[in-house]
Amino acid sequence: MLRIKRVATVVSNYQKEEAGEVARPVRGCGRNCLKSCCIQDAKLPLYAFKRLNKVGEKNSPVDEVREPPVAFLDSLILGEWEDRLQRGLFRYDVTACETKVIPGEYGFIAQLNEGRHLKKRPTEFRVDTVLQAFDGNKFNFTKVGQEELLFQFEASDDGEVQFFPNAPIDVENSPSFVAINVSPIEYGHVLLIPRIFECLPQRIDRDSFLLALQMAREAGNPYFRLGYNSLGAFATINHLHFQAYYMAVPFPIEKAPTKKMTILKGGVKISDLLKYPVRGLVFEGGDTLEDLSNTVSDACICLQDNNIPYNVLISDCGRQIFLFPQCYAEKQALGEVSAELLDTQVNPAVWEISGHMVLKRKKDYDEASEENAWRLLAEVSLSEERFQEVTALVFEVIASGELDAQASCIDEVDVVTTSDHPAMVAGTQECLVLQ
C-alpha cells in the first residue's frame, strides 16, 4: 500500500532551513519571498484572459469551443504544477494517496490522506467570526516563496487572450497570482490569490468572485472546479484565496436534483438543492458572466455581513455555482457533534461538502460508505427552518424587487432528510479505484 512520505510541518516551503536543503540563489533576504526585499525585478509568466463581454452582448465564452486558449491554460496550469512536483516543493506526493469512488446513488469519492492532518497549519484566528481584519503578522501569501507561484492571471489590455512567458511583476497594480497548494488534496491543486499585495482578508467581493469565474471559464474544462471557504467554514488562512483542482469524475453535488425558485431579470436562475445532505442554493445562467457573478457575490456578501459561514463550489466551467451556508464549526463549539464524527478529524469544507471526502484514518477509508458520508455532511447543513431564514436574507439582498414575473417552479419534490441515512455503517470493498 502506498503511503504519504512524512516530512516536518512547515508554514511555507520558503521557510525550510533544514541542513542539506538545496541552496537557492541569494537575493534580498535570501528566502526569495514576495516582500520588497526580494520582489524587485522579479518576473513570472502572465496569462492575460479576454475581458468580459459587455452587458447586452451574448455571453458565450463558456459555450464556445476555443481550442487554443482552453488547451493552453490547462497545459499551463498542469505543466507548471508538474514542474513544482519534480522540484520537490510539495509536502507529500498526493498522487500516492489511495482514492476510490464509493458505491451508491451519488458516487461519493473517498481519499486516504494520512499525512495532511499532521502537516496542517494551525488556525490562527477566531472560528466564530466570518469577517476579520487582515493581520500581516500571521501567515499570509506574501510570505510564500516565489518558486511556489505558477503565473500571473490578469485581464488582457487588448481584449484578446495573450501569454507572456516572462512578464515583470507590477507590485503597484497588485497582480493576481496562481500558486501551488503545498498540501494538495488532488492532482493540479492550486490557489487563486486575487490582488495579492492588497492583503485582502478572506471575504468575497464582486471583483474577486468575477476573477474566479473568469478562471473557470478560461480553463474550459468541466473537471476543473474552484472552491471557496469562508472563515468559520474551515478556511485556514485569512488572506483572500480560492482553491481549484482537477477531478476526472462527477462530484456527487453535481448529480443532485434541484428545484427552480426564481429567475432574476438579468437571467440568473436560482434553485434549491434537493435530495442532498447539505442544504444549499444553486445559481446558473445570466445574460452575461457578470450578471451571474454579481448575483452570487452579493449572496456571499449578505452571508458575510450576517456572520453566516459558507462554502462555494464553481462547477461546469463557471456555468453552475453552489452556495452552502453551514454550521459544523458552531456545532463543534457547542458540543453537538458526536465523538464518533469528531474522531474522524474531517473538517467538512467545500470539497467534502461537494462529495470528495478527504479521510485521515485508514479505518475510515476502509469503511467508507455513502451512509457514512451522508451522516457527516448532514451535520454541516443548516436546519430546514434556519435555511429558510437565511434564504430569505439572501433574497432580500439580491432580489431587490427585480424578480421576473414569469419565474416558475417545477413540481415539488420532497427534500431528503438525515433520517433517510441514519446510521454509520461499514462500507463495501467493491469500489472503483481511481488511477
| Active site (catalytic) residues | 241
Q: Which residues contact 79 (CB under 8 A, 6 or more apart)?
A: none
N residues, the chain = 435
Please say whether the beta carbons of 196 and 49 come within 8 A.
no
What 3-state DSSP class applies to 169? coil
d(C-alpha 167, C-alpha 46), whole Å: 6
Taken in order 230, 235, 238, 242, is the CA torsion positive or negative? negative
Please say whether the beta carbons of 231 and 309 come within 8 A.
yes
Please say whether the beta carbons of 350 and 245 come within 8 A.
no
Q: What angle do CA 35, 50, 149 make, to 5 degrees?
A: 25
At 302, which amino acid appears?
Answer: C
d(C-alpha 281, C-alpha 310), whole Å: 11
Strands (E), 169-309: 177-180, 190-193, 224-229, 242-246, 258-263, 268-273, 281-285
d(C-alpha 146, C-alpha 151), whole Å: 10
Please say whether the beta carbons of 212 and 321 come within 8 A.
no
